[in-house]
Amino acid sequence: MSRIRTQDWLNEDFDPRVPRRRADLTKGLRGERADRYSDQAIIDEILAHADDPEAQAAAFNPTYQGARYERVWIRNYLGAFYDRRLISDVLRKVKGGKEATVYCCSAGSLAPGDLVAAKIYRPRQFRNLRNDALYRQGREILGARGQPVRDRRALVAIREGTRKGKEMEHVSWLAHEYASLRALHAAGVPVPEPIAFANNTVLMEYCGDAKRPAPALHSVRLSLSEARDLFASLLRDVETMLANGRIHADLSAFNVLYWRGEYRIIDFPQSVDPATHDSALDLLQRDVTRICQYFARYGIASHASALAQAMWERQMI
């Protein structure tokens, strides 16, 4: 048994019908814990998608084609948004990460703006699990419509780690990103406006233009006065998030997009509730420290843990 490596099926020459060499099949097995599925189960899943007649017949024929199985993936996950007129085309792949791939789409008639970002999470089996457990602590499980799951049998399935339970945790992880974006957008924090959530995908406002996605802050050169303003704004945002029951918990110059003097904080699936998470203050301090470290390159000196502590006292005590 092994897992198909995450990137394989987005490669042009990948074909799940062709068995990989034995050496490949055993690679990566050591040290991997549960949540393994047989190759066959994973291959079956891809083929089920590949042969889905509804998906094949759909009118949705995006400009961006991508690799062979990526096309199947795009049709399956984004087809419903096309049908709901939230997107009208897929223009380009912005970035494939460990956990999700982000595409730039043109907005459909029912979505705001001209462009929309589609963040497609990998199905659970293809995901490179990060240390989710730390972030899940103290959180409610959210269902496919973002509602808290209270059903006893479902909660038992999650506790026992059954296949269904793991699937629910996966959905909850995405739902959590969407719920966080909604809450923070409503609170005036500069996050991408969330548009929809379904099919392993979060649809949101796109940062950048059709030619070039917004770069992350870490690769932008700011003037000194821009840097000072942005530093102050980000600290204010972290505090507003705290006041609204969220700590980002993976905040850094990689998760802030910067575009023509504006910015958006992104990537919220791991965000935690400061009222219920045991390590909330540590996570807040880590976020603030990373922000302070980034701005130190502009000669902005700060005392991260004192700043975080003061925020905590103002908002939580």
Ligand X SMILES: Nc1ncnc2c1ncn2[C@@H]1O[C@H](COP(=O)(O)OP(=O)(O)O)[C@@H](O)[C@H]1O
Find which of Mg ion, ligand X, none residue 99 binds, CB within 5 to 8 Å per kind. ligand X
Is residue 163 within 8 Å of residue 238, measured between CB atoms? Answer: no
For residues 40 and 51, what is the distance between their CA atoms, to the nearest angstrom? 16
List 262's β-bridge partners, or say none.
259
Residue 259 CB, shortest distance to ligand X, in Å, is: 8
267 is catalytic: yes
Beta-sheet strands, E only, within 122-240: 194-198, 201-205
Is residue 42 within 8 Å of residue 125, measured between CB atoms? Answer: yes
For residues 191 and 178, what is the distance between their CA atoms, to the nearest angstrom? 11
Helix (H, G, I), strand (E, B) or coil at 306: helix
Find which of Mg ion, ligand X, none residue 216 binds, CB within 5 to 8 Å per kind. ligand X
Q: Which of 70, 237, 267, 287 binds Mg ion (CB under 5 A)?
A: 267
Options 44-52, 62-70, 96-104, 221-229: segment touching ligand X (CB under 6 A): 96-104
Options 9-17, 180-188, 209-217, 274-282: segment touching ligand X (CB under 6 A): 209-217
Q: What is the dihedral of CA 177, 183, 189, 191, to 10 degrees?
A: 30
- Strand-pair category, 256-259 with 262-265: antiparallel
Q: Which of 16, 66, 108, 213 binds ligand X (CB under 6 A)?
A: 213
Residue 204 CB, shortest distance to ligand X, in Å, is: 5
Find which of ligand X, Mg ion, none residue 62 binds, CB within 5 to 8 Å per kind. none
Q: Catalytic pick from 15, 267, 273, 278? A: 267
And the tokens for 154?
Answer: 């479902």
8 is catalytic: no
What residues line the site for Mg ion (CB under 5 A)?
255, 267
Positions marked active-site: 250, 267
What residues line the site for ligand X (CB under 6 A)?
94-95, 97-100, 102, 117, 119, 192, 204-208, 213-214, 216, 255, 257, 266-267
